[in-house]
Amino acid sequence: MFLASKLLAFVLQPLFLVGGLLLAGLLAGRRRARLGRGLCAAALLALVVSTWTPIPVALIHHLESRYPAPAESLDLRPYAGVVVLGGALSHSELWQVHRKVALNEAAERMTEAVALARLHPHLKLLFTGGNATVTGEGMTEAARARMFFDRMGVPPGQVLYEDRSRNTAENATLSAALPGVDRQARWLLLTSANHMPRSMGVFRKAGWNVTAYPVDFRATGTIDWLDFSLSNGPETWQTVLHEMLGYQVYRWLGKL
């Protein structure tokens, strides 16, 4: 399942489709010129569509609307802690070479966790994330998270680390196996808003008593129908396709 998810993530890149159509058109054009031109035209159309952001932004907003941000008045005293999903830390080579904290565009997963730990000292942080690279080389996400939380001044005794999981399903099952973790207690589940529908389904299926605490929102509900972006367009398409297809695959596998 892990290797299949990596392959699916690669194939879902819009520019992979563009490149595949272009290559097929060039090869077909040697013997069937009309077919080759049609495939190249399809590649150009796919490129244009991949840069048009309104549709993927609307789909992102739909995912994020499933679990709105909790009210500021939410009483956190009954909660045991916060499960923090990995995914906000840049690749391990940056950390190893420069020995500095390096966050990516989902940084709110980490910064909001620090804020919760400081504002509510009774909450445990449970960070879950191993090494999701195909080769398995480099620092685990948990090791990088430990560096980050230590740098931010979070007391070491306030954080638990799970360092073997490689995807959301393993986040749920392996975190539940940590010593002293009671998944029947009330926990906040902290991850990106677009990832929350799949995460909540997986954790509840695994027996966790979790409340959604989404961060890293990407859409507001306002759509600019004339917005094109060569950089943001393909990335937004890839994000929404990854989450929507990932949700369906997890359903088929009975993981949510």
What ranges do the domains of the chain cover? 2-63+230-252, 69-215
Confidence class of residue 244 from pLDDT cuts 50, 70 and 90?
very high
Average pLDDT, the chain: 93
In contact, 203 and 189? CB cutoff 8 Å = yes
Instruction: Please name the residue ranges forming H helices in the chain.
Output: 2-11, 14-28, 33-51, 54-65, 92-98, 108-119, 141-151, 168-176, 196-205, 232-252
Sheet containing 186-192: which strands, arranged edge to edge? 159-162, 124-128, 81-85, 186-192, 209-215
Is the per-residue pLDDT at 5 higher than 80? Answer: no
Is the per-residue pLDDT at 1 higher than 70? Answer: no
Is the per-residue pLDDT at 233 higher than 70? Answer: yes
**pLDDT tens sequence across 14-72:** 889 999 999 999 999 888 999 999 999 999 999 999 999 999 999 999 999 999 999 98
In contact, 60 and 219? CB cutoff 8 Å = yes
Confidence class of residue 134 from pLDDT cuts 50, 70 and 90?
confident
Pairing of strands 159-162, 124-128: parallel
Q: Does the domain spanning 69-215 belong to CATH 3.40.50.620?
A: yes
pLDDT of residue 9: 74
